[in-house]
Amino acid sequence: THFGYQQVDVHEKQAKVAEVFHSVAAKYDLMNDLMSMGIHRLWKRFTLEKSGVRKGQRVLDIAGGTGDLTMAFSRRVGPDGQVILADINASMLQVGRDRLTDKGYVGNVEYVQANAEVLPFPEAHFDCVSIAFGLRNVTDKDRALGEMARVLKPGGRLLVLEFSKPNNPLLSKAYDTYSFTALPFMGRLVTQDADSYRYLAESIRMHPDQETLKQMMQDAGLDQVQYYNMTGGIVALHKGIKF
Ligand code: SAM
């Protein structure tokens, strides 16, 4: 399709991603619940369990958007810890900041507009770095993973939660049909924007599968990389340790 970003210019992809998230920011949480039938909450809860984050630690939530993970991390690290929600998109960042502030998450959360490919933080700074449903939107994924490894302290954990490859061909077919028909349909209904959701479906299909992402994380300097399939591999959590 015309959003098949492997053929398009890098800047074109970045511009498309910006347009998509400006367009969906206000309705993002509602769409997340609708599209995943609420299951994204379980995927995120599992991610949190695997994070090993404790009181007083410093966490970076990249592509944090409206802040689901940031909120949970903020509770975990407590008043002596710190969570930074970073996102490239000003509209998403605004919605996230308003939402968290309204819910009373103040004091240990900060907001930074940043591209995952060029993180404005010193090396060995964080105990945990997360990126949930964000990596597939990043143009240079290897560079971004390298940056994530750089800002992690030795022994720190990187968590990548992302759509992946369903491990059963039947599920894979059903899921493909769902992504390319129901998603744009719901997108149009709720946000008057079917194109953005068509882009999302396309970006999911193009994303590296479980083993490829594992290798990419190893190449970026992460150790003990393992992944957990969820919902039949529709989503996978990859975890790696900085050595
Ligand atoms: N992490 C949140 C969650 O799980 O609900 C939000 C995920 S949302 C699907 C993807 C987010 O990635 C958007 O907020 C978008 O602005 C952000 N994003 C896209 N490209 C990015 C990049 N290169 N660097 C940082 N954030 C990016």
CA distance 206 to 227: 19
Among 44, 60, 89, which residue has the most ligand 1 atoms within 8 Å of its CB, making it the best to mutate? 89
Q: How many CB atoms lie within 10 A of CB 15?
A: 12
Contact at 8 Å (CB) between 159 and 51? yes
Tell me the chain's radius of gyration from C-alpha atoms. Answer: 17
Average pLDDT over residues 83-95: 96
User: Distance of CA 56 to CAs 47, 64, 182, Å?
Assistant: 19, 20, 43
Shortest-distance Cα residue to atom 9 of ligand 1: 133
Residue 101 lies in a domain: yes
Q: What confidence score (pLDDT) does residue 9 get?
A: 67
What CATH number is associated with residue 146? Answer: 3.40.50.150
Q: What confidence score (pLDDT) does residue 37 get?
A: 86
Residue 94 lies in a domain: yes
Average pLDDT over residues 235-240: 97
Q: How many CB atoms lie within 10 A of CB 112?
A: 15
What pLDDT, in 10s, does the model give residues 160-196? Answer: 999 999 999 999 888 888 888 888 888 888 878 888 8
CA distance 67 to 191: 20
Tokens 């299951």 sit on residue: 39
136 has pLDDT over 80? yes
pLDDT category at 201 given cuts 50, 70, 90 is confident
Lowest mean pLDDT among 35-39, 61-65, 94-98: 35-39
**Containing domain of residue 217, as a range?**
36-165+208-242
Lowest mean pLDDT among 18-32, 81-95, 138-152: 18-32
Residue 202 lies in a domain: no
Residue 170 lies in a domain: no
> Tokens standing for 118?
């060029």
Residue 218 lies in a domain: yes
Among 137, 202, 204, which residue has the most ligand 1 atoms within 8 Å of its CB, making it the best to mutate? 137
5 has pLDDT over 80? no
User: Distance of CA 52 to CAs 46, 74, 130, 157, Å?
Assistant: 11, 13, 12, 8
Residue 100 lies in a domain: yes
Helices (H) and strands (E) in the chain, counts: 10, 7
- Of 79 and 16, the structure prediction assigns the larger pLDDT to 79
Whether the CB of 137 sits within 6 Å of ligand 1: yes
Structural domains of the chain, count:
1
Instruction: Kindly report the average pLDDT of the chain as a whole number.
Output: 91
